[in-house]
C-alpha cells in the first residue's frame, strides 16, 4: 500500500469511527459505543465501500443470528450443561467460518449470537432484547458511517486479495483456541451481564486476534496493547473533561483514531503491527464507552474503570496462558505421533 492509499485508509477509519460516535450518542442509542466498535471492526480491514445489498444482508443475518441466541437463553438457564455446550459449539463454528471462509464480520456476529446473547438471556431476557436492538441499530449506523467515510476518502487502488485460508487442521485449532478464550467471559456474563458485557465484547475481539498469533507474539501484543488502550482511555477522559460536549467527543475520537490509524497503516514507523494498534483502539473505545455510561448513571467512574482495566488485563493474561498451554499440548501430541514406531512385521 502506497502512502497516498495508506493516508486515505487512516482518514477513512477516523471518519467512520468519529461519525459513529456522533450518531450513536446523538441518537441516544442504548449502548452507543457499540456503533464505534463496529465501525472500527468493519472499516479497518475494508478495501471498498459496502453496497446496499451487502448492508441489507448483514442486517438480516444479524437479526436472525441474535434472535436464535435468545432461544438458547432459556435452555442455558434450565439445562446449563446442554446450553453451554451449544454455545461453545456456536463459537467454534463461527470461528471456523471467519477463518476458513474469510468472512470475519459474519463470524463475529455469529459468535455474539451464539455466546453473548444466550448468556445474557439466561439471566435477564429484557436486557438481551435491549442488546439485540442496540446491536442492530449500531451495526446499521456503523455501515452507513463506513459508507460515508468511503465517500469522503474513496479507495485509490484495488482491494488487496484476502490471505489464503489455512489448512483444515489449522482452522480447527484456531477455532478451538477461540472457544477456550471465550469460556471465562461467558461465565462472568452469567454472574452480572450489565457490568461484564464490555469484558465479553473485548474478549470476543481478543480471541480473534490471539488465535492468529503465535505464543511469543501474543505475549508481546495482547498485554501491551490492552495496557496502552487503558492509558489512552484515561488521557481521552481527561481531555474530554475540558469540554464534555458531543462535538469535542467526536473530535477527540477522530484524532485518537487517526493517531492509531497512521501507525496501523504504516504512515508513521512503529515497532508494533496493525493488530496491536487495532486492539489498543478497541480497548480504548470499550473503556471510554463504559465510563460515559457509568457517569450518566451516577456511578463511580474511576473505580469501575480501574476494575474493568484489571479485568481486561486478566483476560489478556488468561488468553496468553491458554495459548501457551494449548500450544504445548499440541506440540507434545505431535512429538508423540512422530515417535510412534511403525507396526512390526508379522513374525
pLDDT of residue 130: 83
Angstrom distance (rounded) from CA 289 to CA 297? 13
Identify which of 138, 94, 96, 146 has the alpha carbon closest to the alpha carbon of residue 116: 94
At 273 the three-state DSSP class reads coil
pLDDT of residue 111: 78
Angstrom distance (rounded) from CA 159 to CA 313? 35
pTM here? 0.82
The residues near 277 (Cβ < 8 Å, ≥ 6 apart) are 225, 260, 261, 263, 264, 270
Cα angle: 42, vertex 314, 37; to 5 degrees: 15
Long-range own/partner contacts, residues 145-148 (CB < 8 A, 24 or more apart): 145/15, 145/16, 145/17, 145/19, 145/20, 145/23, 145/35, 145/39, 146/16, 146/39, 146/42, 146/43, 146/46, 146/49, 146/50, 147/49, 147/50, 147/55, 148/15, 148/16, 148/19
At 16 the three-state DSSP class reads helix
Angstrom distance (rounded) from CA 16 to CA 30? 20
Identify which of 9, 124, 144 has the alpha carbon closest to the alpha carbon of residue 70: 124
Q: Which residues of 53-66 are buried (b: 16+ CB within 10 A; e: fewer)?
A: eebeebeebbbebb
Which three cell numbers mark 249? 467527543
Angstrom distance (rounded) from CA 23 to CA 9? 21
Residue 347 burial (10 A CB sphere; 0-12, 13-18, 19+): exposed
Identify which of 268, 45, 30, 247 has the alpha carbon closest to the alpha carbon of residue 127: 30
Query: Rounded to the nearest 5°, which phi and psi values hold at 236?
Result: -60, -45
The residue to which cell 459474519 is assigned: 106
Cα angle: 315, vertex 320, 325; to 5 degrees: 120
Angstrom distance (rounded) from CA 145 to CA 167? 35
Query: Rounded to the nearest 5°, which phi and psi values hold at 280?
Result: -65, -40
The CB density around residue 144, as the number of other CB atoms within 10 Å, is: 18
Mind listing the pLDDT tens digit of every residue in the chain (347 residues)?
678 888 899 999 999 999 999 999 999 888 888 899 889 988 887 777 777 887 887 788 777 777 777 777 777 778 777 877 888 888 888 777 776 655 676 677 777 777 788 888 887 788 888 888 888 888 889 999 999 999 998 877 655 555 555 565 666 777 777 777 777 777 777 777 777 777 777 777 666 654 554 545 555 677 788 889 889 999 999 999 898 899 999 999 999 999 999 998 888 888 888 888 988 898 899 889 888 888 877 777 888 888 888 887 787 777 777 777 777 887 777 776 666 655 445 44
pLDDT of residue 342: 52
Amino acid at each position: 500500500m502506497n502512502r497516498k492509499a495508506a493516508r486515505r485508509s487512516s482518514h477513512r477509519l477516523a471518519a467512520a469511527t468519529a461519525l459513529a460516535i456522533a450518531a450513536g450518542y446523538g441518537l441516544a442509542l442504548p449502548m452507543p459505543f457499540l456503533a464505534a466498535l463496529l465501525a472500527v471492526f468493519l472499516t479497518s480491514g475494508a478495501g471498498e465501500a459496502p453496497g446496499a445489498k451487502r448492508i441489507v444482508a448483514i442486517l438480516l443475518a444479524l437479526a436472525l443470528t441474535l434472535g436464535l441466541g435468545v432461544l438458547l437463553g432459556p435452555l442455558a438457564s434450565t439445562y446449563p450443561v446442554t446450553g453451554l455446550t451449544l454455545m461453545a459449539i456456536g463459537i467454534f463454528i463461527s470461528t471456523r467460518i471467519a477463518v476458513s471462509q474469510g468472512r470475519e464480520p459474519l463470524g463475529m456476529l455469529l459468535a455474539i449470537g451464539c455466546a453473548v446473547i444466550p448468556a445474557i438471556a439466561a439471566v435477564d431476557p429484557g436486557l438481551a432484547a435491549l442488546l439485540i436492538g442496540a446491536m442492530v441499530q449500531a451495526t446499521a449506523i456503523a455501515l452507513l458511517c463506513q459508507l460515508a467515510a468511503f465517500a469522503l476518502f474513496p479507495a485509490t487502488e484495488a482491494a488487496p486479495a484476502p490471505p489464503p485460508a489455512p489448512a483444515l487442521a489449522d482452522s480447527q485449532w484456531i477455532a478451538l483456541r477461540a472457544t477456550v478464550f471465550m469460556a471465562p467471559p461467558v461465565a462472568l456474563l452469567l454472574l452480572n451481564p450489565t457490568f461484564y458485557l464490555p469484558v465479553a465484547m473485548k474478549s470476543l475481539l481478543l480471541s480473534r486476534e490471539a488465535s492468529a498469533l503465535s505464543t511469543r507474539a501474543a505475549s508481546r501484543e495482547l498485554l501491551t496493547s490492552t495496557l496502552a488502550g487503558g492509558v489512552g482511555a484515561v488521557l481521552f477522559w481527561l481531555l474530554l473533561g475540558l469540554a464534555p460536549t458531543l462535538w469535542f467527543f467526536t473530535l477527540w475520537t477522530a484524532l485518537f483514531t487517526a493517531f492509531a490509524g497512521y501507525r496501523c497503516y504504516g504512515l508513521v514507523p512503529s515497532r508494533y503491527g496493525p493488530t496491536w494498534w487495532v486492539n489498543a483502539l478497541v480497548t480504548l473505545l470499550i473503556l471510554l464507552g463504559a465510563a460515559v455510561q457509568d457517569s450518566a448513571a451516577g456511578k463511580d467512574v474511576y473505580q469501575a474503570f480501574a476494575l474493568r482495566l484489571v479485568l481486561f488485563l486478566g483476560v489478556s493474561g488468561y488468553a496468553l496462558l491458554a495459548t501457551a498451554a494449548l500450544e504445548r499440548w499440541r506440540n507434545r501430541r505431535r512429538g508423540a505421533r512422530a515417535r510412534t514406531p511403525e507396526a512390526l512385521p508379522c513374525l
